[in-house]
Structure 1
């Protein structure tokens, strides 16, 4: 996890959040990847598929939708940043969070 964050975080825009015992990677507010069992899984997009030379799809955990399993290229910071850039550009903006109405008596 630390290695991947170090590779991606020169801009300071990539953050990791602990999720279900693993990690979600965010660019701003967009979830673009998961790190599960020390493996990087990037959300599938057409641009990401076109960028990758060899696409390996796998589910990051049982019952999950398949993602792009990134096994090679992790050491190449520029290549990895480009993959994240093309992926994030294609992902939709996150839905606004609903605010909960405060409970109160009247």
Structure 2
């Protein structure tokens, strides 16, 4: 079944709706991050600062954590997101909407 829409207003509304859904999309078979307490909260905070370009030591200071803990959280984040670099991890977390839920 197909629908041919020619109204510029309707087409723009559908385009914007598609873009909104696309931003919130997740790869098939990948679950949203589950919340299980302080560890997940820390990982989200670390991921957010990582996405902003902070270095390990700066993240540790801001979150009152040890640098080793920060490095461990970054490794967990990278493994969960399938990212090979810190930048890719921050970008993928952003794409999956990890930061939108906390700010909105």
- The TM-score bracket by the shorter chain reads under 0.3
Q: Which has the higher contact order (CA 8 A, sep 6+)?
A: 2
Q: Which has the higher strand share?
A: 1
